[in-house]
Structure 1
Amino acid sequence: MIHVSIVVPTYNRRESLHRLLTALAEQTYPTNAFEVIVIDDGSTDGTRDLLKSVRVPYSLGSFEQEHHGPAEARNFGASRAAGDLVLFLDDDVVPCRELISVHVATHTAHGPLAVVIGPMSAPTDWQRSAWVRWEEEKLEWQYEAMRAGVWRATERQFYTANSSLSRDLFARAGGFDSTFKRAEDVELGYRLRNVGAQFVFTPEADVLHYASRTFAAWCRTPYQYGRYDVIMTRDRGHEALSRALQEFQARHPLNRALSRLTVGRPTLLKPTLWILRAAVLGGDLVHSARLTSSALSAIFNLLYWQGVCDELGGRSVLGPSIAAGNLVPTNSSA
């Protein structure tokens, strides 16, 4: 029987972690065939006490580190893994009872180069903010496209909230780059692709994602993605930014116009973001999903490209204009 190591980084989510550990006790996969490794990334909310006191029917190992982020925590956990497969889960998910069994079956069917990706579904018993619901809708759009065969899973869907691969393949690709504080999973996905990995989307390997974040935290996400896409393209030789440029040309004309006008110009960008934030709140208040979603898409787009500009050193180094699609570093071949 294939032995599985489940690696869970956690930071100040004591109750969510407890919910996950409890749910893993209900897996259909034999409890003597998997282990759970939790890496406490410097929590201050009593997570340490929980890990000392919780009782579960499977092998549970817990380790502590200073707060260095999820990439380093996952690397630490993977280095302690004894299983043939490493299954990465986030601490705010609840797995379906067949999760481990489905991951294992998919690996058995596809061989040692498989990287298995499962969906993160929205729970029906959880009140979410408008921006979290927006994220869920965008994810579900991707999942539906893969279910329908419109596209195949790639490194860009390698989200470590619910994904697995062989321990050997993880080591061959070099693990996560701990200098990345965001997009570390996608960056590893590029390197996995380069060593021959096959990305497999498996809808039955489902988890419920109990996501919760402030609006400020949500806004940091696209900004960081923009900066890290530049780093991936300029310093790692990946094509992250060139793909984003192609997608930019397919954006709504209003989004493109706002980008041309405001990105790299703080006196215009700040009030534009303020107005869009008001539109989000207003749309949510009157239950206008279209207004809310459009405003959030515009905010995400603007902050992403602002991150690109800042990492490149300002708007002046971007070429003639965003409209011309020249947001590629001058020393990049992308």
Structure 2
Amino acid sequence: MIVLSVAIPTYGREQVLIDSIESLLALDPPPEELLVIDQTPDHEPSTKAHLQDWNQQGRLRWIRLKQPSITAAMNRALLEAQGQRVLFLDDDIIPSPGLLHAHLEAHRHWPGALIAGRVLQPWHQGQPDAETAAPFRFNSLQPRPCSEFMGGNFSLPRQMALDLGGFDENFVRVAYRYEAELAYRWRQAGLSIRYISEALIDHLQAQRGGTRSYGQHLTTTRPDHCVGSFYFRLRTQPLLPALLGCLRDLLRSVITRHHLRRPWWIPLGLLAQLRGLAWALRLHYSGPALVRVTLCTNGLQERQLW
């Protein structure tokens, strides 16, 4: 029986994806099961060759999706994984040697918990945050209970996640705050989230692919970056406070140094925010896009959104 499956959702990444996979396969022991949920329409030849070879050798399972969606990719991983627990990792990382062991040990101590790992960002320069640093940025050396997690390094019991409906696929494009929404449902169900500093990755913040495929949030009229934030408020707060919060967020988004120095971006930024709010309202009133799993007569799982 597989205890821990590792899943890497990926979009638009090439050599950094290959490097990340190689570093995971080089761990001792390597992952029991490694899933690459690939939303990239067409890879560079060398990337494609590596993924095909690993897939044929059984060292990983390369699963292709037609449409890019981080939440749909993560739901596909939950459905495809054979492990009791699933560890989700970004596609531009260097794992610490003890990453898998730390997640497994944490689940032994807290069997029903979601485990949030430590994420070392480039600007940390290899140093942990102070224990009193606020807000908490998942780079402390002190384990603790917490209310949220970072999507690039966390693990959770697979069946519990499916019982809650998985990830809400209404978090589209950049899918900002999708982790916070699952954390909200997780806590509402009486479940805990634990931060474990030993479960460490270096996040490389690749400049191409991933959410960076949608451009820079300060210089766009597209709603891709802000729709998730508005939708999160609407999903987790009463309507009036949520709308007031959305309006505050909308105004704050154009009161930045960038906009003070380049005031011509203020109306364009407001346009992006208003488009995002309108989109979030439509998504909210359509209802959450959660996963429902039913068992078919042939014994296979059927995936539906509800």
Q: Same fold (TM over 0.5)?
A: yes
Structure-2 residue corresponding to 1:71: 71
**Which residue identity lines up with residue 236 of structure 2 in the other structure?**
G
SS of match in other structure, 1:62: strand
User: How far apart, CA to CA, are the structure 1 residues paired with 2:85 and 2:233?
Assistant: 30
1:275 aligned to 239, 242, 261, which one?
A: 261
Rg (Cα) greater in structure: 1
Structure-2 residue corresponding to 1:186: 180
**Which residue identity lines up with residue 154 of structure 1 in the other structure?**
S
Structure 2, unpaired ranges of 5+: 126-132, 279-283, 285-306
CA distance 1:18–1:311, shift in 2 (3 Å): closer
SS of match in other structure, 1:118: strand
**Which residue identity lines up with residue 120 of structure 2 in the other structure?**
S
More helix by share: 1
SS of match in other structure, 2:97: coil
1:241, distance to aligned residue in structure 2 (A): 10
CA distance 1:104–1:57, shift in 2 (3 Å): farther
Structure-2 residue corresponding to 1:121: 120
Q: What TM-score, normalized to structure 2?
A: 0.68
Q: Deviations over 1:255-307 (max 9, x none)?
A: x9x947x95xxxxx899627269xxxxxxxxxxxxxxxxxxxxx9xx96x876
Q: How is 1:223-262 mapped onto 2 (pairs within 5 angstroms)? A: 224=224, 226-234=226-234, 236-238=235-237, 259=251
2:191 aligned to 187, 190, 197, which one?
A: 197
More strand by share: 2
User: How far apart, CA to CA, are the structure 1 residues paired with 2:58 and 2:110?
Assistant: 27
SS of match in other structure, 2:155: strand
Question: Does 2:46 match 1:50?
Answer: no
Structure 1, unpaired ranges of 5+: 127-138, 250-255, 264-268, 278-298, 314-328, 330-334
Structure-2 residue corresponding to 1:266: none
User: How far apart, CA to CA, are the structure 1 residues paired with 2:240 and 2:98?
Assistant: 37
User: How far apart, CA to CA, are the structure 2 residues paired with 1:15 and 1:171?
Assistant: 32
Q: Say how many residue pairs are matched.
A: 261
Q: How is 1:282-321 mapped onto 2 (pairs within 5 angstroms)? A: 309-312=274-277
**Which residue identity lines up with residue 13 of structure 1 in the other structure?**
R
Q: Deviations over 1:141-200 (max 9, x none)?
A: 623786568x84213xx2220000011111112111222121322222222222222111
SS of match in other structure, 1:23: helix
Q: What TM-score, normalized to structure 1?
A: 0.63
Q: How is 1:58-137 mapped onto 2 (pairs within 5 angstroms)? A: 59-112=59-112, 114-123=113-122
SS of match in other structure, 1:185: helix
CA distance 1:3–1:56, shift in 2 (3 Å): farther
Amino-acid identity (%): 25
User: How far apart, CA to CA, are the structure 2 residues paired with 1:52 and 1:309?
Assistant: 43
